[in-house]
């Protein structure tokens, strides 16, 4: 390396030169980002970790010695610097297989897609070690990947890989949080890099979307509540956690999916980390028949295998219960009555209670007669208490009961007659997807009517849907049902073909009285016409509430069906729209209602 320097500029040190050489070579080693930091102890981190322990927030998978977690060390010598590496991984799957009745699928977190990331990172670290030792044979180096004593995130943050986010992930300005981290302790005095000064700002989407409220504050995670941790445990889980796990088999990506810093990011340049769709979204029922050998053959090369097959099989049973898959009753009954593992038997009892029906009830009673394990018996009793004789006869299609034995209240409201007060939440919300010229739409209905339309497929919008359910539906779960959404899908298809100008669907709109008043007024804006926010405010008798009307318009839970896209700026500008201005323009073009003067389109 040669460079010219001014009369008073010192020449770069040999360690700075080597650092730059390493950075240039890093991509060829399979490393996407690399940073250098001092090896000083992480003094402030110790207090944070101690407090975390006192509050009971640890997962139990961490290094128990706090001094080792905050003090870099090398055998026989003093550490001089740290090296942090990052490897970017995919966030999206091409043509993911979809669940269908009788063929429901689970989902692995992105950290379990492709080859086990521990091996990928270790290979990269070994190449880095070899590169350094070729130039400095006497170097003392110690690499760590995920299972080392030091905190990966603390090292990465100090080394300038990214900043520590409110969801406790490291967010790289380039790669987002879709990165695996590794670190190396060295006795070589590499000059440190500068930390990233970016942060999350006022955003709290990850905290708001966490399914189990495990993010108890910015940068504070109660691992005992985290779905990612729960899916890796081997014991019994509570009813609350099983419902919120959904169909997750390993890990949870919710807090990363909702993060604005990750929007549009997907990394496909590491072939070994790309997902096999049938392994990333495996069929649930076949998982329950896998032997240990078959499980290792199928998943042994992924990070999901480290805890063995029992947690995955238990989570598959949970998913079948959450899907209310009646076709799974025979297999779940077999698990309940014959599996030697109490955790699987108890979870099968819970799932059968969720699914219901006469066959499930009969097998729960059989299990009650033969079961000896106290915890399993308790779960059997809870499952039986859910199934009244009427529900058992009706099967899983029976209306869902809620606390107190009350049924879902209210009559379906036709379009233009929305409900202002939320109905008593059903145990389940039904959803389906429809393909349209503006992309996939996810439709959600309660027993009373359509209550939500989201731009994007269910898997992408899952966190948003869960948050909406917690706010407006008492945390109700979601079940896919083509039958219950068939009318909505049909009418939307007709609308996009230009064959339908007015929807005739029952609605179950949930919002404040003012919001519902605004949404009702939106239904009076005819197909092919537009109104300004001011005109809507005047129509509801609140001419000074233009800004509040805009806020309510933005929170419309059923766009397109309730036509908030027909509201524009006073000057004709296509101002904000939840689905984006381009979608708003496309809808108005479809209706031949684009204003002659558009103005700014912010």
Indicate if 431 and 580 belong to the same structural domain.
Answer: no
What's the pTM? 0.67
Q: Is residue 8 part of a domain?
A: no
Confidence of residue 2 (pLDDT cuts 50, 70, 90): very low
* Residue 596, domain member (yes or no): no
Q: Identify the band that residue 193 occupies on the pLDDT scale cut at 50, 70 and 90.
A: very high
Query: Are 491 and 521 in a shared domain?
Result: no
Rounded CA gap, 307 and 301, in Å?
Answer: 13
Q: Collapse the DSSP code of 249 into the 3-class scheme (helix H, G, I; strand E, B; otherwise coil) and give the result.
A: strand
Point out the domain boundary residue: 403, 433, 457: 403
Range of the domain at 176: 14-186
Q: For the segment 517-543, what is each residue's pLDDT rounded down to a tens digit?
A: 999 999 899 999 999 999 999 999 988
49 with 149, same domain? yes
User: Among 200, 206, 255, 564, which one carries the catalytic annotation?
Assistant: 564
Same domain? For 235 and 341 the reply is: yes
3-class secondary structure per residue, 104-166: CECEECHHHCCCCHHHHHHHHHHHHHHHHHHHCCCCCEEEECCCCCCCHHHHHHHCCCCEECC
Supply the pLDDT for residue 388.
54
Max CA pair span of the chain: 92
| 277 plus 348 within the same structural domain | yes
30 conformational bin, left if phi > 0, alpha if psi -120 to 50, beta if neither:
left
Residue 149 resides in a domain: yes
Query: 564 an active-site residue?
Result: yes
Q: Is residue 602 part of a domain?
A: no
pLDDT digits (tens, 9 = 90+) for 101-132: 889 999 999 999 999 999 999 999 999 999 99
Amino acid 427: pLDDT: 62
Q: For the chain, what is the domain count? A: 4
Does residue 199 form part of some domain?
Answer: no
- Shared domain check, 541 and 497: no
196 found inside a domain:
no
Domain final residue, candidates 380, 403, 426: 403
Does 355 lie in the same domain as 227? yes
Return the axis-axis angle of helices 513-522 and 546-554, rounded to nearest 10°.
80
Same domain, 380 and 317: yes
User: Residues 386, 420: one domain?
Assistant: no
Same domain, 370 and 452: no
Considering the domain architecture, whether residues 260 and 137 belong to the same structural domain is answered as: no
- Give a yes or no: residue 388 inside a domain: yes
pLDDT digits (tens, 9 = 90+) for 406-427: 222 233 333 333 333 343 344 6
Most confident of 22-31, 393-402, 407-416, 569-578: 22-31
CATH code of residue 530: 1.10.10.10
471 with 570, same domain: the answer is: no
The CATH number of whichever domain residue 494 belongs to comes to: 3.30.160.70
Is residue 325 situated within a structural domain? yes
Q: What pLDDT digit, counting tens, does each position of 278-308 carry?
A: 999 999 999 999 999 999 999 999 999 988 9
């Amino acid at each position: 390396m040669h460079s010219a320097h001014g009369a008073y500029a010192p020449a770069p040190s040999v360690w700075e030169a080597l650092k730059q050489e390493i950075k240039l070579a890093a991509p060829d080693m399979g490393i996407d980002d690399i940073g250098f930091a001092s090896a000083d102890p992480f003094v402030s981190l110790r207090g944070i970790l101690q407090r975390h322990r006192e509050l009971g927030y640890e997962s139990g998978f961490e290094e128990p010695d706090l001094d080792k977690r905050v003090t870099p060390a090398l055998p026989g010598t003093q550490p001089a610097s740290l090296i942090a590496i990052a490897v970017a991984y995919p966030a999206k799957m091409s043509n993911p297989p979809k669940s269908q009745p009788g063929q429901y699928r689970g989902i692995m977190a992105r950290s379990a897609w492709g080859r086990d990331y521990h091996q990928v990172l270790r290979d990269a670290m070994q190449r880095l070690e070899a590169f350094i030792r070729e130039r400095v044979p006497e170097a003392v180096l110690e690499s760590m990947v995920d299972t080392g004593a030091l905190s990966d995130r603390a090292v990465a943050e100090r080394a300038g890989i990214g900043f520590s986010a409110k969801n406790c992930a490291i967010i790289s300005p380039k790669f987002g949080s879709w990165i695996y981290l590794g670190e190396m302790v060295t006795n070589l005095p590499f000059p440190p890099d500068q930390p990233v000064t970016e942060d999350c700002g006022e955003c709290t989407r990850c905290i708001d979307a966490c399914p189990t409220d495990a993010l108890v504050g910015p940068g504070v995670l109660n691992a005992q509540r985290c779905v990612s941790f729960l899916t890796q445990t081997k014991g019994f889980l509570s009813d609350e956690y099983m419902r919120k796990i959904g169909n997750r088999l390993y890990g949870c990506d919710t807090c990363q999916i909702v993060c604005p810093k990750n929007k549009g990011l997907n990394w496909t340049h590491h072939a070994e980390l790309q997902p096999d769709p049938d392994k990333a979204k495996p069929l649930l029922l076949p998982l329950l028949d896998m032997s240990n050998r078959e499980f290792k053959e199928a998943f042994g090369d992924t990070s999901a295998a480290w805890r063995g097959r029992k947690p995955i099989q238990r989570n598959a049973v949970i998913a079948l219960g959450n899907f209310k898959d009646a076709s799974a009753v025979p297999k779940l009954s077999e698990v309940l009555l014959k599996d030697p593992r109490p955790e699987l038997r108890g979870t099968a009892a819970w799932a059968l209670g969720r699914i219901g029906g006469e066959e499930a009830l009969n097998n729960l009673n059989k299990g009650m007669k033969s079961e000896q394990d106290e915890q399993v018996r308790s779960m059997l009793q809870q499952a039986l208490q859910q199934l009244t004789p009427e529900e058992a006869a009706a099967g899983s299609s029976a209306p869902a009961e809620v606390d107190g034995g009350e049924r879902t209240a209210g009559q379906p409201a036709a379009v233009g007659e929305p409900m202002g007060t939320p109905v008593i939440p059903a145990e389940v919300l039904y959803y389906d997807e429809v393909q349209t010229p503006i992309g996939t739409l996810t439709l959600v209905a309660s027993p009373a009517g359509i209550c939500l339309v989201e731009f994007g497929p269910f898997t992408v919008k899952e966190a948003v849907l869960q948050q909406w359910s917690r706010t407006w539906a008492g945390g109700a779960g979601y079940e896919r049902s083509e039958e219950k959404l068939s009318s909505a899908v049909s009418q939307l298809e007709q609308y996009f073909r230009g064959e339908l100008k007015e929807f005739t669907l029952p609605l179950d709109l949930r919002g404040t009285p003012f919001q519902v008043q605004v949404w009702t007024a939106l239904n009076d804006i005819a197909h092919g016409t537009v109104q300004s926010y001011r005109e809507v405010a005047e129509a509801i008798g609140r001419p000074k509430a233009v800004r509040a009307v805009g806020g309510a318009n933005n929170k419309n839970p059923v766009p397109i069906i309730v036509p908030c896209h027909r509201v524009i700026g006073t000057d004709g500008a296509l101002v904000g729209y939840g689905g984006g201005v381009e979608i708003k323009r496309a809808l108005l073009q479809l209706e031949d209602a684009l204003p002659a003067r558009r103005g700014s389109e912010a």
